[in-house]
Each structure stands twice: as C-alpha cells, then as structure tokens.
Amino acid sequence: ERLIKEEKPVILPDEKIVYLRTVANLPDCFTEKEWEELRQKYYIHELGYISNFSPNYYDTIAVGLLKRREQADEYGKRAIDNIIDLADRYLHEAKLQGREDLVEVFTQVPRYGARNFREALQFFRIIHFALWAEGNYHNTLGRFDKYMYPYLKADMEKGIYTRESALELLEDFFLSFNKDSDIYVGVQQGDNGQSMMLGGMDENGEYIFNLLTELCMEASCNNKLIDPKINLRVNKDTPKEIFIKATHLTKAGLGFPQYSNDDIVIPALEKLGYEHKDAVNYAVAACWEFIIPNVGADVDNIGAMSYPKAIDTVLHNGFMECETYDDFFKKVVEEINNECDRICDGIKDLWFVPSPFMNVLMGCNIAEGSKYNNFGIHGTGIATGADSLAAIKKYVYEEKSIDKQTLLEAIDSDFEKHSELLPILRYEAPKLGNNDDYVDSIATDLLDNFAKCLEGRINCRGGIYRAGTGSAMFYLWHANEIGASPDGRRAKEPFGTNYSVSLFAKVKGPVSVIASMTKQHFENAINGGPLTLEFHQSVFSDQDGIEKVASLVKRYIELGGHQLQLNTVNTEQLLDAQAHPENYKQLVVRIWGWSAYFVELDKEYQDHVIARQAYKI
C-alpha cells in the first residue's frame, strides 16, 4: 500500500504498455526482531511472502477492479483503491503528455473490464505490478495464450490489428517485464519467476496453438530478453511444425521454450488428486514446478531431498554390514525415508505475510488455504545417486574388484588415496545417459522409492507432498554437504542440474540421453524438474539442424519424457565472457529453470554452465 502511494507515473516516449517501478523498495513491514518472533512461532518459507502462484488474471481483466471490489474484504478494498489511485495518476500523466491513446486505455482499465487486446495487456501489467508491490514474488503469468487470445481474436476480426501490428504491441508488452526486473532478484539475477505457459490441452481435449501462441514465441525471439520466460505444453500428437517453430526460438539462445508433456503431466496430477478440469489447466511456477492457476496454493519448493547424501550416509553407517547390493539399497531407501521425515517434521504451522490483493485475485484467504494446498519436495542428484549405486553394485558386490574399505578410503580422501580408482569410477563405470538398463533401472528405483516415501503424508495445510525431479539451486548446495562420491565425482563438484546426467559422464549423445531419461515412472513424481540438454550453437546454423533438434524434442515427448529444456551454448564464447564480461552483456544462458545474463551470474553458476556437455547432431 505504502509503496504504491509513493510511486510516480512514468510514461516513456512511444511506450504502448506502461508502468515502471520508481521506488525500488521500502522498509519491510516487519522489523528483524518481529521476524525472529514469527520464525519462532511459525514455519516461514523463504522470504515469508507469497510466491509461485498463478492467480485468476482472466476474471479480473474481464470485469474490472470495481466489480472485484464488491466481493473483497476491508483490506482487499484498500488494496484495490490504491491500485486504482495509481492508475488515475497515470491517466493524469497521459493527459499532460497528450497521449490520447493512453488516456483512452486508462479511462477504462483497471476500473472496468478490458474491451480490447491493448487494454487487456495494460490491465495485466497493472495487476502484475501490484502483486510485486505487495511483496509477492515469482509472480507467474499462467496460461497466457488461453486467457488473452479472445481479446486478440476479436480485434483481428474487427481489423484493428494486422499480424505485424499485433506482434509490435506484444513486443512492447514483453519489454515491460524487463524494465524494472533488476529489482526482482531471486537466488541470482534473472531468477524472478516471470514464467509464461503456452499451448496445451483445454477442457474439451483440444490442443491450443493459436495466433497468440505463435506471436508470443516470435516476440520473445525478436526481443532477445530474458523475460517473460517461455514454456510450451506439447504432447505426442503435437505436429512437428510446432516443434520447428519452437526450435527457432531455442536458436535465439534464451533457453526458451521449456517443454512440458501433457500426456504425462495431466494424468499424473489427476493421480495425485487434482480434478481433471484443473489438471488440464496446469501451468508452471517460477521455474518448472507444476501448479494450478486460479485455485492452487501449492508450495512447490518447500524442501529438497538429496539422493547422494542418503547414499553417503549409508556408506558411513552400515555399509560394512551389507552383504549384498539389495541389503545396501534397502538401507539407502530407509535413509531417503528418514530424510523425508526430517523435512516434513520440520514444516509446521506454515505462515505467509498477508496479501490482500492476492486474496482478491484468488477468491479466497490464502492464510486459510485454497482448493489445493500441496507441498513439493525436490529430489536432487539423481544421476550422481544412480551412478554411485551402479558403481557399488558392479565393483563391490558383483565383480568384487573393489573392497568396501578401499572405496571408503578413496572417497573420504577425495581420491588422494587409491587414486587409481578415480578414472575407473569416473569414466569406466556405468553412467546414466547411455541407454543402459543396468544404471537406468537404478534411477527408476530411486525415483519410485522417493515417491513412496512421501506417499500418504499429510502436510500442515491438509494437502499432500509431491515428489519431484528438480533440484533448483540444491545441485550446488547439496553437493557441498558431502565429499567425493562412488561415481568418481570429486568433493565440492556439483551434481547435474535437475533431472540431468552427471557433468563428467561420457555419454553417446543426446539420443542415448533421452532414451535413459524417459524410462522412469514420472506419474509417481510430478512436482516438476526437467531434463536439460545443451547444444552447441553450430547445431542451429541451418534449417536441417533446426529440424533435427525439433525431431529430437518430439521423440523425447513420444518416449514419455515429462519436461525438457534446451540450452544453446558455445564454450569458447562463455570462457571469453568470463575474461571479458564487458563484451558480453547480452549473452543469455539457461540455469536450473530460468534464464539469465551470463556475466551477471556468480562464478560458481558460470562454471557449472561451462562444464555442461554441449551436444552436436
């Protein structure tokens, strides 16, 4: 409320979609002492403010804030009044500048419902701006082409826009996400959660890929900016032409689009208890976690379980007593369950900072919960875990070429002792990503058992726990919690990001990787977390290369992969960017579920991107 009152209207020359933060931040609504008291009384997730929700933009844009005010409580009314007051200041500024186009827009929105595409876009910008101002973060866009297309379609039919003029307006709208995003910082710059979902099935089973879907991908490609972050829902019947269009966006080097497979995600969400009408309407949170717009208050990143840590714990507590691999694996599963106990037992009385405007948009009091109140738990380092177990199974229990004590001494000394084991474990042992059932089946066992360990647990808000395949930033954090591992990973060396192979794994190529990474039972673990593939930028140099990448993505979906993101990289360029950052201010890379400007990342994140294997086709 205070921040919006302090805001000054800014209208830049030729700007079609306005609103710009002029006040970076005001003091927090709680003192440090008050936060300490709150943390002693409640479980506070991250910053304590609401994040990773996809509120009901459509209904508000359709009817206007005055209509929504009728159902709001006292604090919701105050929030709406302040939002309208700022819009009126923009209306006044538009009159002063002689901007009759903006005068017309602000005379209508946000008081009343949008009548056309431009008003709808400006209304969205106002809502989104207000959510950030209220302290909410990672404010996602939901299924943008589904709820915005009716406005564009009507205007096109009236002859108000040509394809070119509609694209120009959309590019200006996309630009608005980048004007003040530098103050919306997450773990790293770029981690701001401005994610847009495109495509996908509707309630009638029809696949959505309309003109707005196409224009959104073109606008992103033309702007070459990191926001909004483009996600695309597809299925096995999606035409190859759509994958080709999407691959042209990948070529731009933004890390877009990220793909989600409706054939896997929708039934998996239904299996978890989501109604069909809600499951088919899924979107993604800031990165890749699956959320339900309008009615979902899921906290999709409330904790993370480390497979390698569970294995490391058993190696140092019980390994010597395990006579068989099955004995060892059973203890690993017990430790995974123990870790799930520790995570879940630590989450009691979850509390959010009150968010009156979010309550208005969601049509409920978030403090009391919404229709869905589930918690998501990441599963980190699955490749490190599967590769480590494969090495233990092969060399310790089957071939008996490495004894238990020797293996422990090797990893505890970071391979300073028994250094001859390092190349064997690192480069010769079975590795996930080679379409080898020996290790792929172990990854399946790990994922299935992780999901079983969470099954049946009820969280403090009455929801369930969802197992996931993501890692978020934990691929670095969890790697620092243990020393070297039996797969040949050195101490402090990071895990693979999300659901990806190990950084040093010798794999045959992207075809073998997708074969390995689509065998698992994702219907049991659908919190989200993509396979990440890096392609050298030369792959996209001609149409033939683009079509090959599109075919590979389509094949991944046909094989039953759940989520995929692609990165376009050039290792030599990245190394030069580290040495000469002033020459690469616009160089964009994909991190764990968001894109960022490479030179603005901390070095540990830069190094991880450089270390990833870039494939060629």
User: What secondary structure does DSSP assign to 271-321, as a single string?
Assistant: HTT--HHHHTT-EE-SSS-EE-TTTB--EEEEEEEEHHHHHHHHHHTTGGG
Q: What is the pLDDT of residues 209-246, one digit of tens each?
A: 999 999 999 999 999 998 999 999 999 999 999 999 99
Write down the pLDDT at residue 601: 80
Q: Using 50, 70 and 90 to split pLDDT, how confident is the model at 181?
A: low
Q: How far is CA 70 from CA 64, 76, 78, 119, in A?
A: 11, 10, 12, 22
Write down the pLDDT at residue 616: 62
Average pLDDT over residues 85-93: 98
Structure tokens at 174: 């996309």
Average pLDDT over residues 535-551: 92
With beta carbons less than 8 A apart as the criterion, state whether 200 and 233 touch.
yes
Structure tokens at 419: 């250094």
Average pLDDT over residues 424-438: 98
With beta carbons less than 8 A apart as the criterion, state whether 124 and 61 touch.
yes
Residue type for 438, please? Y
Largest CA distance in the chain: 83
Q: Which among 305, 301, 271, 275 is positioned nearest to 288, based on CA atoms?
A: 301
Q: Is the pLDDT of residue 281 over 50?
A: yes
Whether the bond between 110 and the residue before it is cis, its omega within 30 degrees of 0, is: yes
Structure tokens at 384: 């490190």
Q: Using 50, 70 and 90 to split pLDDT, how confident is the model at 520?
A: very high
Q: Is the pLDDT of residue 615 over 80?
A: no
Average pLDDT over residues 251-263: 95
Structure tokens at 403: 């004894």
Q: Is the pLDDT of residue 525 over 80?
A: yes
User: What secondary structure does DSSP assign to 92-136, as a single string?
Assistant: HHHHHTT-HHHHHHHHHTTTS---SHHHHHHHHHHHHHHHHHTT-
In percent, the amount of the chain with pLDDT more than 70 equals 96
Q: Which among 477, 480, 520, 523 is positioned nearest to 500, based on CA atoms?
A: 520
Q: Is the pLDDT of residue 155 over 70?
A: yes
Write down the pLDDT at residue 614: 59
Write down the pLDDT at residue 593: 63
Residue that is written with structure tokens 């050298």 in the block: 536
Helix (H) or strand (E) holding 148: helix 144-158
3 state SS of 533: strand
The helix-helix angle for 117-133 and 100-108 (nearest 10°) equals: 70
Computed over every residue of the chain, the mean pLDDT equals 94
Q: Is the pLDDT of residue 189 over 60?
A: no
Say how far apart CA 146 and CA 607 lie, in whole Å.
Answer: 38
Q: Using 50, 70 and 90 to split pLDDT, how confident is the model at 332?
A: very high
With beta carbons less than 8 A apart as the criterion, state whether 63 and 371 touch.
no
Contacts of 17 (CB under 8 A, 6+ apart): 118, 121, 122, 125, 169, 172, 173, 175, 176
Structure tokens at 616: 């060629």
Could you count the other beta carbons within 10 Å of the beta carbon of residue 43? 14
Helix (H) or strand (E) holding 172: helix 163-179
Q: Using 50, 70 and 90 to split pLDDT, how confident is the model at 2?
A: confident
Could you count the other beta carbons within 10 Å of the beta carbon of residue 101? 10
With beta carbons less than 8 A apart as the criterion, state whether 277 and 298 touch.
no
Write down the pLDDT at residue 187: 47
How many whole angstroms from its chain centre is CA 573? 26
Q: Is the pLDDT of residue 592 over 80?
A: no
With beta carbons less than 8 A apart as the criterion, state whether 358 and 366 touch.
yes
Average pLDDT over residues 48-74: 97
Write down the pLDDT at residue 179: 86
DSSP designation for 175: H
Could you count the other beta carbons within 10 Å of the beta carbon of residue 181? 19
Residues forming a β-bridge with 517 = none
3 state SS of 74: helix
